[in-house]
Amino acid sequence: MDSIQNPFSPGAGSPPSDLVGRDQVLRQAQILFGRVKQGKSEKSLLLTGLRGVGKTVLLNAMSREAERLGYETIFVEAHEDKTLALLLAPRLRNLLYKLDRMEGAKDKIKRALAVLKGFVGSIKLTFQDLPIGIDLEPEKGSADSGDLEIDLPELLMAVAEAAQSRGVAVAILIDEIQYFGEKELSALIMSMHRMQQRQLPLILLGAGLPILPRLAGESKSYAERLFAFPPIGPLEPEDARKALQDPVSALGVRYETDALEEMVKLTQGYPYFLQEWGYQTWSQAESSPITLDVVRGARSAITQRLDENFFRVRFDRLTPAEKLFLRGMAEVGSQACRIGDLAELLQVKVGSLSPRRAALIHKGMIYSPSHGDLDFTVPLFGEFMRRQIPAFPPK
């Protein structure tokens, strides 16, 4: 069939032609936008889920919706090795410049710029290739203590007050939020606490791996009052069928029922897998309807593509010992793996696994759904590990 017309788009952050099964969480975002614009308080949103479930795509959809409703948006993607301050400062400066160009009194905006300058100075950001270039004296004593948990709330308050003075609401969207350290997450939480107390028009929408456990302890109940954590998971079978069928129907193509059911079963409803199956079966079919034979025939090519483009991301950066750790997890079982069971399997002490465990969490390969448990951040990753290292223990 016509490759140019292929309606599927497998790929990190690639928008699907139909965003299926997410109406409820999109509605939740709309309510948040609407309420905060009217000066009412509402919980910010942190979308949590495994890789490939569609968090980035949702965050982008929410960003567009916020803009449609008149919000100024800032969208950043966290990295393993870039600080929150470094990511946010230039974007906040651009926002303040934009506010500065609007009609009206400038004092709040000038103040926010001066606070930002102090903030940048105190954290010794080196904008080597990106001069901060704010032509103002920094405001002494605001957001310049060097302690992010004090400074970020002060800075964001100044920004929110500047926006409020222009009748503008601000949405900060942060993807891959799990990469931030505890101090940075805590600084964000404290900032949102201040926003809510003062009912200022600045909200946070985040997406990332399930990080609630990392907000545990003291800050947890506090975080739960400020944030909703809608879990983003695989699509229900009915939505999975829709995610395959609707895009092809629009082009006059259909699947035979058993072909559709087979794909729903094999993908387990995970959006990334649905896109890849849709894409490849479209490519390989001669004509409509797409049959079970086409689905079966496409399987090995799809597995290979997923291995290369989805599972292998970040995999080649792992050490042999880290790969063995992951292979061991696959051996322990499909559900969350207890670290004690893994130690037993690998015939080592639990304590000796800690550095590897920490490194794999840092690299975004695994996470801890609850204390003492570990799971892969990528769905069906255990099967990939078995394909990579078939024998256990490896020869």
Token code pair at residue 102:
């609007």
Which CB sits closer to ligand ADP, 245 or 284? 245
* Member of 71, 272, 376, 384 binding ligand ADP (CB under 6 A): 272
Q: Residue 76: which residues within 8 A CB-CB, separation 6 or more?
A: 87, 88, 91, 172, 173, 174, 175
Q: Which stretch binds ligand ADP (CB under 6 A): 51-59, 78-86, 188-196, 326-334?
A: 51-59
* Member of 43, 51, 108, 117 binding ligand ADP (CB under 6 A): 51
275 binds ligand ADP (CB under 6 A): yes
Handedness of CA 46, 51, 52, 57 (dihedral sign): positive
CA 57 to chain centre: 9
Q: Which stretch binds ligand ADP (CB under 6 A): 16-24, 98-106, 166-174, 254-262?
A: 16-24
* Member of 25, 36, 48, 55 binding ligand ADP (CB under 6 A): 55
* Member of 45, 53, 329, 360 binding ligand ADP (CB under 6 A): 53
Which CB sits closer to Mg ion, 56 or 186? 56
The angle at the Cα of 366, spanning 313 to 44, to the nearest 5 degrees, equals 95
Q: Which stretch binds Mg ion (CB under 5 A): 21-29, 39-47, 51-59, 276-284?
A: 51-59
Backbone angles phi, psi at 293, to 5 degrees: -60, -40
Q: Which stretch binds ligand ADP (CB under 6 A): 48-56, 111-119, 130-138, 254-262?
A: 48-56
Annotate 34-103 with DSSP letters as a single string.
HHHHTT----EEEEE--TTSSHHHHHHHHHHHHHHTT-EEEEEE-BTTB-HHHHHHHHHHHHHHHHHHSS
Number of residues that bind ligand ADP (CB under 6 A): 25
56 binds Mg ion (CB under 5 A): yes
Q: Which stretch binds ligand ADP (CB under 6 A): 49-57, 82-90, 113-121, 149-157?
A: 49-57
- Kindly give the pairing relationship between strand 202-208 and strand 170-175: parallel
Which CB sits closer to Mg ion, 285 or 366? 366
User: Which residue in 42, 362, 74, 352 sits closest to 228, CA to CA?
Assistant: 42
The angle at the Cα of 52, spanning 56 to 72, to the nearest 5 degrees, equals 5
E strands, the chain, in order: 44-48, 72-77, 170-175, 202-208, 227-228, 337-338, 366-367, 373-376
User: Which residue in 308, 236, 302, 301 sits closest to 270, CA to CA?
Assistant: 236
208 binds ligand ADP (CB under 6 A): no
Which CB sits closer to ligand ADP, 55 or 93? 55
* Member of 5, 12, 182, 236 binding ligand ADP (CB under 6 A): 12
Strand partners, 82: 79
Look at residue 52 and give the partner it binds from ligand ADP, Mg ion, none, a contact being a CB closer than 5 to 8 Å depending on partner kind: ligand ADP
- Binding interface with ligand ADP (CB under 6 A): 9-16, 19-22, 49, 51-57, 243, 271-272, 274-275
Binding site for Mg ion (CB under 5 A): 56
